[in-house]
Amino acid sequence: MQNYASARSPDMREPYETGRHLARMLLWILAVLLLFFSSLDVWYFLRAVVVVLKAWFQPPVWDVLAEQSVGGWVLPHDIDYMGHMNNARYLRECDFARFAFYTRNGLFKAARALGGNMVVGASTIRYRRSLALGEAFELRSRIVTWDEKSFFLEQRFVSCRDGFISAVMLCRQNILRGSPDKILQFLCKRK
Protein backbone atom coordinates (compact mmCIF):
# COMPACT_ATOMS: atom_id res chain seq x y z
CA MET A 1 0.00 0.00 0.00
CA GLN A 2 1.34 3.36 -0.97
CA ASN A 3 1.66 6.31 1.35
CA TYR A 4 -1.05 8.86 0.58
CA ALA A 5 1.40 11.82 0.56
CA SER A 6 3.74 10.10 -1.89
CA ALA A 7 0.84 9.03 -4.11
CA ARG A 8 -0.18 12.63 -4.63
CA SER A 9 1.10 14.40 -7.65
CA PRO A 10 3.82 17.03 -7.19
CA ASP A 11 1.25 19.74 -7.86
CA MET A 12 -0.86 18.55 -4.92
CA ARG A 13 2.11 18.50 -2.48
CA GLU A 14 3.07 22.15 -3.08
CA PRO A 15 0.22 23.86 -1.16
CA TYR A 16 0.71 21.46 1.76
CA GLU A 17 4.47 22.07 1.91
CA THR A 18 4.00 25.82 1.46
CA GLY A 19 1.54 25.88 4.37
CA ARG A 20 3.96 23.99 6.62
CA HIS A 21 6.79 26.30 5.61
CA LEU A 22 4.64 29.38 6.34
CA ALA A 23 3.61 28.00 9.74
CA ARG A 24 7.24 27.27 10.62
CA MET A 25 8.27 30.77 9.54
CA LEU A 26 5.50 32.36 11.66
CA LEU A 27 6.63 30.36 14.68
CA TRP A 28 10.19 31.63 14.20
CA ILE A 29 8.96 35.21 13.91
CA LEU A 30 6.90 34.84 17.09
CA ALA A 31 9.89 33.32 18.89
CA VAL A 32 12.14 36.22 17.84
CA LEU A 33 9.50 38.77 18.90
CA LEU A 34 9.10 37.01 22.24
CA LEU A 35 12.87 37.10 22.71
CA PHE A 36 12.98 40.83 21.90
CA PHE A 37 10.06 41.72 24.17
CA SER A 38 11.46 39.65 27.05
CA SER A 39 15.03 40.97 26.80
CA LEU A 40 14.65 44.53 25.44
CA ASP A 41 12.38 47.45 26.18
CA VAL A 42 10.89 47.36 22.69
CA TRP A 43 8.27 50.02 23.43
CA TYR A 44 11.04 52.47 24.42
CA PHE A 45 12.80 52.05 21.08
CA LEU A 46 9.56 52.26 19.10
CA ARG A 47 8.53 55.44 20.90
CA ALA A 48 12.00 56.94 20.38
CA VAL A 49 11.66 56.38 16.64
CA VAL A 50 8.18 57.94 16.63
CA VAL A 51 9.38 60.97 18.64
CA VAL A 52 12.34 61.60 16.33
CA LEU A 53 10.21 61.19 13.18
CA LYS A 54 7.57 63.54 14.56
CA ALA A 55 10.23 66.14 15.46
CA TRP A 56 11.86 65.68 12.05
CA PHE A 57 8.66 66.77 10.29
CA GLN A 58 8.04 69.76 12.57
CA PRO A 59 9.51 73.16 11.70
CA PRO A 60 13.15 73.49 12.79
CA VAL A 61 14.04 75.70 15.74
CA TRP A 62 16.96 77.86 14.63
CA ASP A 63 17.65 79.37 18.06
CA VAL A 64 19.61 76.70 19.94
CA LEU A 65 18.86 78.38 23.27
CA ALA A 66 15.10 78.59 22.66
CA GLU A 67 12.85 76.62 24.97
CA GLN A 68 10.94 73.79 23.32
CA SER A 69 8.05 71.84 24.75
CA VAL A 70 6.39 68.49 24.16
CA GLY A 71 3.12 67.37 25.64
CA GLY A 72 2.24 64.18 27.43
CA TRP A 73 -0.25 62.37 29.64
CA VAL A 74 0.24 60.10 32.60
CA LEU A 75 -0.87 56.71 31.29
CA PRO A 76 -1.70 53.54 33.28
CA HIS A 77 1.72 51.98 32.61
CA ASP A 78 3.39 55.15 34.01
CA ILE A 79 1.94 54.95 37.51
CA ASP A 80 3.20 53.18 40.60
CA TYR A 81 1.24 51.58 43.45
CA MET A 82 0.57 55.05 44.92
CA GLY A 83 -1.39 56.03 41.80
CA HIS A 84 0.96 58.72 40.52
CA MET A 85 3.72 58.84 37.94
CA ASN A 86 6.63 56.56 38.82
CA ASN A 87 9.95 58.36 39.47
CA ALA A 88 11.70 56.46 36.67
CA ARG A 89 9.05 57.54 34.16
CA TYR A 90 9.97 61.19 34.66
CA LEU A 91 13.50 60.45 33.46
CA ARG A 92 12.17 58.39 30.56
CA GLU A 93 9.93 61.26 29.45
CA CYS A 94 12.94 63.58 29.67
CA ASP A 95 14.81 61.24 27.29
CA PHE A 96 12.06 61.54 24.69
CA ALA A 97 11.86 65.33 25.12
CA ARG A 98 15.64 65.59 24.58
CA PHE A 99 15.38 63.46 21.42
CA ALA A 100 12.81 65.90 20.03
CA PHE A 101 14.79 68.91 21.29
CA TYR A 102 18.05 67.85 19.61
CA THR A 103 16.30 66.85 16.40
CA ARG A 104 14.46 70.15 15.99
CA ASN A 105 17.36 72.48 16.83
CA GLY A 106 19.90 70.44 14.86
CA LEU A 107 22.30 69.63 17.72
CA PHE A 108 22.16 65.89 17.14
CA LYS A 109 22.70 66.24 13.40
CA ALA A 110 25.61 68.65 13.94
CA ALA A 111 27.28 66.36 16.49
CA ARG A 112 27.01 63.41 14.09
CA ALA A 113 28.30 65.46 11.16
CA LEU A 114 31.38 66.34 13.22
CA GLY A 115 31.93 62.68 14.18
CA GLY A 116 30.73 63.15 17.74
CA ASN A 117 27.97 61.81 19.90
CA MET A 118 26.00 62.94 22.95
CA VAL A 119 25.44 60.97 26.14
CA VAL A 120 23.93 61.87 29.50
CA GLY A 121 26.80 62.45 31.93
CA ALA A 122 24.71 63.29 34.98
CA SER A 123 21.18 64.17 35.92
CA THR A 124 19.38 65.29 39.01
CA ILE A 125 15.67 65.75 39.45
CA ARG A 126 13.56 67.50 42.04
CA TYR A 127 9.98 66.34 42.48
CA ARG A 128 7.70 69.13 43.65
CA ARG A 129 4.24 67.64 43.17
CA SER A 130 3.18 64.30 41.74
CA LEU A 131 1.43 63.91 38.41
CA ALA A 132 -1.71 61.76 38.70
CA LEU A 133 -3.15 59.19 36.32
CA GLY A 134 -4.62 60.88 33.24
CA GLU A 135 -3.07 64.26 34.03
CA ALA A 136 -1.74 66.19 31.04
CA PHE A 137 1.65 67.85 31.30
CA GLU A 138 4.02 69.85 29.17
CA LEU A 139 7.73 69.03 29.28
CA ARG A 140 9.76 72.18 28.57
CA SER A 141 13.43 71.79 27.68
CA ARG A 142 16.14 74.40 27.26
CA ILE A 143 19.91 74.70 27.26
CA VAL A 144 21.02 76.67 30.30
CA THR A 145 24.77 76.82 29.58
CA TRP A 146 27.74 74.80 28.33
CA ASP A 147 31.41 74.28 29.04
CA GLU A 148 34.28 72.73 27.05
CA LYS A 149 32.79 69.20 27.27
CA SER A 150 29.05 69.40 27.94
CA PHE A 151 25.73 71.11 27.44
CA PHE A 152 23.63 71.67 30.57
CA LEU A 153 19.87 71.39 30.15
CA GLU A 154 16.90 72.19 32.31
CA GLN A 155 13.71 70.21 31.78
CA ARG A 156 10.51 71.16 33.58
CA PHE A 157 7.29 69.18 33.93
CA VAL A 158 4.47 71.73 33.90
CA SER A 159 0.96 70.58 34.76
CA CYS A 160 -1.57 71.60 32.10
CA ARG A 161 -4.24 71.73 34.80
CA ASP A 162 -2.86 74.71 36.71
CA GLY A 163 0.59 75.54 35.28
CA PHE A 164 2.38 74.28 38.40
CA ILE A 165 5.94 73.01 37.85
CA SER A 166 5.68 69.42 39.09
CA ALA A 167 9.33 68.46 38.62
CA VAL A 168 12.59 69.99 37.43
CA MET A 169 15.47 68.01 36.00
CA LEU A 170 18.98 69.27 35.34
CA CYS A 171 21.02 67.24 32.89
CA ARG A 172 24.65 67.33 31.81
CA GLN A 173 24.87 66.17 28.20
CA ASN A 174 28.46 65.14 27.48
CA ILE A 175 29.83 65.47 23.96
CA LEU A 176 32.01 62.55 22.91
CA ARG A 177 34.68 63.20 20.25
CA GLY A 178 33.79 66.87 20.02
CA SER A 179 32.86 69.94 22.01
CA PRO A 180 29.84 72.21 22.39
CA ASP A 181 31.84 75.08 20.86
CA LYS A 182 32.51 73.11 17.66
CA ILE A 183 28.86 72.08 17.43
CA LEU A 184 27.66 75.66 17.91
CA GLN A 185 30.13 76.93 15.30
CA PHE A 186 28.84 74.29 12.90
CA LEU A 187 25.24 75.35 13.59
CA CYS A 188 26.07 79.03 13.05
CA LYS A 189 27.18 78.21 9.50
CA ARG A 190 23.85 76.62 8.53
CA LYS A 191 21.36 78.57 6.50
Q: Are residues 34 and 119 in the same domain?
A: no
pLDDT for residue 135: 97
Q: Is 167 in contact with 90 (CB distance < 8 Å)?
A: yes
Q: What is the pLDDT of the chain when averaged over all its residues?
A: 91
Q: Are residues 8 and 67 in the same domain?
A: no
Does residue 44 lie in a domain region?
no
Q: Are residues 101 and 148 in the same domain?
A: yes
Confidence of residue 1 (pLDDT cuts 50, 70, 90): low
Does residue 34 lie in a domain region?
yes
Does residue 51 lie in a domain region?
no
Does residue 80 lie in a domain region?
yes
Cα–Cα dist 172/151, whole Å: 6
Q: Is 132 in contact with 74 (CB distance < 8 Å)?
A: yes
Range of the domain at 86: 57-188
pLDDT tens digits, residue range 103-142? 999 999 999 999 999 999 999 999 999 999 999 999 999 9
- Structure pTM? 0.80
Q: Is 178 in contact with 116 (CB distance < 8 Å)?
A: yes
Q: Are residues 139 and 166 in the same domain?
A: yes
Q: Are residues 81 and 157 in the same domain?
A: yes
